[in-house]
Structures are given as C-alpha cells and as structure tokens.
Structure 1
Amino acid sequence: MREVRETRDEVRERLVAVAAELLREQGRAGVTTRATAERAGVQAPTIYRIFGDKEGLLDAVAEHEMAAFAAAKADASHPSGDTDPVTDLRAGWEMTIEFGLANPELFALVSDPARATDSPATRAGIQLLAEKVHRVALAGRLRVAEDRAVDIIHAAGTGAVLALLSQPAAERDLSLATSMLEACLAQLVTGTGVPTEDRSATTAAVTLRAEAPHLSALSTSERLLLTDWLDRVIAQDTAHHHP
C-alpha cells in the first residue's frame, strides 16, 4: 500500500510541475488535460482520477506555486529584533509585486476569488502578511486593528499587480505600486505620513491589543476581558473614522 501511495504522489507531483510549465508558457488555455498528460507521459484519465477535472488540476498548480512563493518569502523574512518592522513590511510588499509581475498567468489564477478563499497557500501568504503587521502593532506604530490593516494591504497589493499587468510591459510605471503602498501606510502606520487627526489613543489600544495575549500578570479570563475591551475601543474608532 505504501508503494502505491508513493507512486501516486510522484505522478501527481509530475503532473502539477508539467501543468505549471504549460501555464507559464501558454497561459491558462494551454493547460489542457491532453497536453498535460502527453508532456507528463501519462494517460489522460490519470488526471481525472487524481484531480477530478482540469479545474482541480489548476487548483493544485495554484496551491503548489503559491506554497513555494510563501516558503521563499518566509525564508527572506527572518528579521532580527532591531529590524524596523515597517521596512520588513515594505520588503514583503516588493516581493509580492515582483512575483505577480513575473508570473502573470499564475497571479491571475490565484487572485480569482473563487479559488483564493479556499486555497491553503493563499491563506499561508496572508498569514505571513499578518505576522508582519503584528510586528508593526507590537512596535506601537499601527493606527488600526491588525485584521483591518491586513485586509487593506492585501487588497492594495492585489489591485496594484492587476493594474500593472493590464498595461503593456514596456509602459508599466512600477512607482504606481510604491505610491499605493505609501498611501496605505500613511493611513495605517505612524511616522509614514501626516494624519488628519490625532489617533494616539487608538494606536495605544492597538499596541496593547497585540501584547494582551502575552501579559502573564493577568489570568486567562482577565486577558480575554482586556482583549474584548480593546477590540471594542478599536472598532468604535474605526467606525467613527470610516463611515
């Protein structure tokens, strides 16, 4: 039984690798079950047995490629304690933009909402972004709730890549992505722009919220209560500033 499982896994890996090659070379339309099977040296029914259909194969390609990117991004994201967390956040943004522009067909595939919501690889990428945002919060520099900051930056990054990909390669203005990030950071992070109002109380609440799970002087129930209070303060401020 073990040998059968290993053989199936090897065939699956080869099919995913071949489909990824076809996606890069010919786009989504080029990833047919026939072309994939021929290049991988298997019978077409094998694809249906392993993946269900072409869409299942594309899902596997998207997950595999994004998992590889997330791993590479994680390897490049081991900041020391004195590394500026905002600088680290910018570096992650730049990696994402570069990856999207270098892999247009794959990016279009993984940015499809129907796939992104269920993709473990996409969730892993968002988790890496969440970790970077958490470091900004711990440093006392985040103006809004962590999950809101993650949503805004993720949406901005996806939009920036798709906007650039819609332009002819020779005419792309890469400063568009940089300007979009800086616009986000000016609203989300202290020290990167001129806020229209004093948000120091909210920043303090966000910072304490990031620290709350680690406050050993409090009991579990006290930490949960503190977290609930801080979430309400942050939510009220967010509603006030973003009607």
Structure 2
Amino acid sequence: MDTRSAIIEAAATLLAQSPSGDVSTRAVCEAAGVQQPVLYRLFGDKDGLLTATVDHVWDQYLGAKRAAEKSEDPLRDLRAGWDSHTAFALAHPNAYKLMFAPALRSVPEAAEEALRILREVLERLAAQGRLRMAPDAAARMVMTANTGVALSLITRPTLYPDASLSVLVRDAIHRAILLDPVADTTAHDARTAAATTLLSSLDELTPQPFTPAESGLLEQWLTQISKSDPTD
C-alpha cells in the first residue's frame, strides 16, 4: 500500500470510530506512521484529506452499484437504490455527514457519481414512458429527499427513531415523479410522458434523422414541454 492510501485508510478508520465525527491530522499521521508534512504535501490541508477520505468510503458503496446487474424493471432498481443509500448512511454516519457538510470546500467526486448513477435509472424509466418529468429534475428530487431522510435518521435519532420512515418518503417521492398508467390520464400527463420518453431516446436514433442544429432545437422544445405547468 502506498503512503497516500495508507493515510486515507487510517483517516477512514479513525473517522468511523470518532464519537464527534471529526479526526485530527496528528492522530491520522500517528496511525499511518508518517510525519505531518507528508500528509500536507499529499493532501494540501485537512479539508483535502477529508474529501479524499469521503471519496474512499463512498467508493466502496458506489463500487457495488457499478457492479450491480440491471434488473428488467428500472423501478425495482430505483427502489433498491434508495434503500441501499439509506443503509449506507446508517452504516457510515460520519462519512455520510461529511459528504454533505458545507464545511468541505470541494464537493467529493462521489456525490456527482451517485447522482449520475441515479439519473441513468431514471432515464430507463423515461424511455418506458413512466416518468412525468425530465430525468435530471427527477434525479435531483430523489437525491434531495433521500439525503434529507438519511441525514435526519443519523443526526436526530431521537426525533426520527424509526428507519421505516425512509420507505414512506421513498414511496411518496416515487409517486410524485412517476406516472400511474391507470390514474394519470390527463392530456398534460400524456404530453409530459411522451416528451420525456422521446428526450431519453434522441441519442439512440440510428441513423440520426436530424442535423445537430435540428436536434438541439428539438431537445429544447421537448425539455420545455416536459417542464410545462398544466395550469399555464
């Protein structure tokens, strides 16, 4: 194991064991068997070390998501993704809190990858005509809600003692972003579903029937339709 990895491993272990959710660079250096100048040379400062440590811990979680086989039903994958997210937060509360801590000056790469993986699942739902809004907007709704529930469970356990709250919020958010083929029969719902479905498959058209300029204009129109307010 190289020096950088050894420092990150030491920081991750101390972070997981910390009652306060914080670690000192001195303690990390002692655990890794290096001098503090080495840590600062590799990470710049404590903020850089914590960002790298969060990415390391989250990479184990995201690695499982990368390796997971897609099921035939993207909704099943969407639900499983929410549940695994909450489970990870409960198992690694300190690393989870750091991921979303405003104190970190740089956004850990893992945060962006988690959102990208979620968006891919939602794009599959859009391609099936099951999404009532653009995948990007839906991804941000789901991630915001999932993060909020997870942070509530790990930071205020006395106020939120029942982890089943996560499932209740999950299902409510999914109802908000997904179309019910039986209940949702309005013209607006139909237009939105059609627009998001076509948007999700534009890049897959072979051969491309439009010029780049035409594709850009069509994408703009479809995006406007998918975001339109039924009261307009």
TM-score by length of 1: 0.85
2:137 pairs with 1:148: yes
Give distance in 1, aligned partners of 2:21 and 2:81.
31
Q: Which has the higher contact order (CA 8 A, sep 6+)?
A: 2
2:204 pairs with 1:214: yes
Question: Mind listing any 5+ residue stretches in structure 1 that lack a counterpart?
Answer: 1-8
Q: Deviations over 1:96-117 (max 9, x none)?
A: 0000011111110001245496
Could you tell me how far 1:196 is from its partner in structure 2?
9.5
Relative distance call for 1:24 and 1:192 in structure 2 (3 A) is: farther
Equivalent residues of 2:90, 2:150 under 8 A apart: yes
Give distance in 2, aligned partners of 1:34 and 1:192.
58
Q: Deviations over 1:132-186 (max 9, x none)?
A: 1111111110001111100100000000101111343897212211111111111
Greater displacement, 93-102 / 111-120? 111-120
Equivalent residues of 2:10, 2:32 under 8 A apart: yes
Q: RMSD of aligned C-alpha atoms?
A: 2.5
- Paired residue total: 229
2:151 pairs with 1:162: yes
Question: Mind listing any 5+ residue stretches in structure 2 that lack a counterpart?
Answer: none
- Which one of 31, 44, 58 corresponds to residue 39 of structure 1? 31
Could you tell me how far 1:220 is from its partner in structure 2?
3.5
Could you tell me how far 1:206 is from its partner in structure 2?
0.6
Give distance in 1, aligned partners of 2:91 and 2:111.
17
Give distance in 2, aligned partners of 1:30 and 1:113.
14
Q: Where do 4+ consecutive residues of structure 1 move more than 6 Å?
A: none
- Which one of 185, 189, 195 corresponds to residue 174 of structure 2? 185
Could you tell me how far 1:129 is from its partner in structure 2?
0.5
Equivalent residues of 1:116, 1:122 under 8 A apart: no
Higher helix proportion (structure 1 or 2): 1
Could you tell me how far 1:193 is from its partner in structure 2?
9.0
Q: Which residue number in structure 1 is paired with residue 43 of structure 2?
A: 51
Give distance in 2, aligned partners of 1:94 and 1:220.
42
Which residue identity does 1:118 align to in structure 2? V
Could you tell me how far 1:194 is from its partner in structure 2?
4.8
Equivalent residues of 2:11, 2:23 under 8 A apart: yes
2:222 pairs with 1:230: yes
TM-score by length of 2: 0.89
Relative distance call for 1:134 and 1:65 in structure 2 (3 A) is: same
Relative distance call for 1:164 and 1:120 in structure 2 (3 A) is: same
Give distance in 2, aligned partners of 1:223 and 1:64.
39
> What fraction of aligned residue pairs are identical, expressed as a percent?
35
Relative distance call for 1:196 and 1:19 in structure 2 (3 A) is: farther
